Amino acid sequence: MFDTGNTGFMLVATSLVMLMTPGLAFFYGGLVGRKNVLTIMIQSFVSMGITTIIWWAYGYSLCFSGGEGGIIGNLDKAFMIGVTLTTPSPYGTGNIPEYVFMAYQMMFAIITPALITGAFSNRVRFGSYLMFLVFWLTLVYFPFVHMVWGNGLLAKLGVLDFAGGIVVHNIAGMAALASVLYVGKRRAGDSVPHSIPLVALGTGLLWFGWYGFNAGSELKVDAVTGLAFLNTDIAASFAGPTWLLLAWFFEKKPKFLGFLTGAVAGLATITPCAGYVTPTSAAVIGILAGTVCYFAVNLKNRLHWDDALDVWGVHGVGGALGIILLGVLASKAVNSAGADGLLRGNIGFFVKQLLTVVGSSVYAFLFTYVMLWAINKVTRVRTTEGEEMNGLDSSLHGESAYQDI
C-alpha cells in the first residue's frame, strides 16, 4: 500500500529537520554571553518536548483536518483519533503513512517558535516563555500552517510557499520584532558572541538539516526533490560569501561570523522557493539574501532595536524576501505544480505573494505583541535587573555552562 522508498526518505527528512533544533540551540548558544548559554539552549530543547505534546493533542488536527478554504481546521484528528497504521497521508501522493507526515510536520512546529527566542535572549523568564510557546503556536503558527499547507484560505487563493517562507521564517521574524519592542533592551552588557566555534557547529547542523527541511517538503522522491536539495545548497553558498564580502568592505575585516550568518540568511530565503525555481534563480536569491539581510541587520542596529541574535533581520526579512522573489522568479517549467512568476508575465501571482507578506507580517506582529501583554498580566515576562546582571543560567536555572563562572 505504501511506497517504501518514499516512506524511508521521509523518515530521513524528518530526522534531519529534528536535528535543526539542537543545531539552532548551538547556534544561539554560541552567540550569547557565557552566563546565558544554557538559558537560550533550553528554550530550543524544551520546544522539542512541549510542542510534540501540543502537536499530538490538537495542533496537527487544527492544521491538517477540515477547515477547507478557512483560517483554521477542526479537532477531528485530535490525539490522532481515527488515524491507524494503514491510514495514508492526506497530502502529497498519499503513498506514505499519515503518521510519517504528522511526524515530519511536527518538526517544523518545534523549530519555528524556537527561532524567536534569539530576539529576546537574556531577558525573559522561563515560565513566561513556556506560556508564550503554547499560545504562539496555537494562535499564530497553526493558523498559517492551515491556511498555506492545510488547504486553507491562502492555498485556495493560489499563494505558494514550498517549505516555510511565510509559515516559518516570516512570521517568526515578525514575532521576534514584536517581542523586542515589547520586552525592551537588555539591562546588562553581554560579551557576545562568546563562542564562534559553537555558532559554526550550529550552522553546520542547520545547513545539513535544511536539506530535509526543503527537499523533504516535496513529500516524495522525484526530480523536484533533487531540485530543492540543490537550490538549498546553492542559495546558502552564494549568500555566505556575499555577506562576508560586504562585511569585509564596510567593516574592513572578513569575519567568519558574517559568513555563517549570511549562509543562514540564504537558507531562510530559499526556503519558500526551493522547489519552484531554477538553480540559476537560486544563485540570484542567495546573492540578494546576503545583501538585503546584511543591510536589514545594519538598519536594526541604527534603529537601536535590541534584537540580540538578528532574528528579524535574518529570518523575518529573509522569509519575506523569499516569498516576494518566488513571485518574481517562479517557473512552471521546473515544477508544473507551481506557478510562473512576474518575469514570465504572471503579475497576478506576484501581487498575491506580496500581499501575503504584508498580511502575515501584520498578523504575526500584532498577535505576538498582544499575547505578550496578556501573559504579562498573568506572570511577569521580563527578568529583573539582578537576574540579568548575574546571568540567567544561575538566576533562573541554577546551572552554569562553564566551571569558571
Q: Kindly report, residue by residue over 163-218, the tens digit of the pLDDT.
A: 999 999 999 999 999 999 999 998 876 667 999 999 999 999 999 999 999 999 99
Instruction: State residue 252's pLDDT score.
Output: 94
Q: Among candidates 333, 357, 358, 354, which has minimal Cα distance to 344? A: 333
Model pLDDT for residues 59-96, shown as the tens digit of each residue = 999 999 999 999 999 999 999 999 999 999 999 887 99
- Please give the Cα distance from 292 to 313 (Å, whole number): 9
Give the integer Cα–Cα distance in Å for 93 and 294. Answer: 39
pLDDT of residue 189: 64
Q: Which pLDDT belongs to residue 237? A: 98
Are the CB atoms for 107 and 78 separated by under 8 Å?
no
> Which domains are assigned to the chain?
4-392 (1.10.3430.10)
Percent with pLDDT over 70 in the chain: 99
Q: Using CA atoms, how far apart are residues 132 and 396, in angstroms rounded to an integer?
A: 17
Residues linked to residue 382 through DSSP beta bridges, in sequence order: 124
pLDDT of residue 213: 97
> CA 108, CA 141: separation in Å to the nearest integer?
10
pTM of the full structure: 0.96
SS3 (DSSP) at 88? strand
Identify residue 386 by its one-letter amino acid code: G
**The residue to which cell 506560556 is assigned:** 131
Q: Looking at residue 87, what is its pLDDT?
A: 96
Name every residue whose Cβ is closer than 8 Å to that of residue 197 and which is 6 or more positions away in sequence.
30
Residue 186: what pLDDT?
Answer: 87
| pLDDT tens-digit map of 8-25 | 999 999 999 999 999 999
Name the average pLDDT for the chain: 96
Question: What does each C-alpha distance from 192 to 27, 34, 35, 189, 197 come to in angstroms?
Answer: 12, 8, 11, 9, 13
364 near 136, Cβ under 8 Å?
Answer: no
Reduced to 3 states (helix: H, G, I; strand: E, B; else coil), residue 137 is: helix
Q: What is the mean pLDDT of residues 239-257?
A: 97
**What mean pLDDT comes out for the span 322-328?**
98
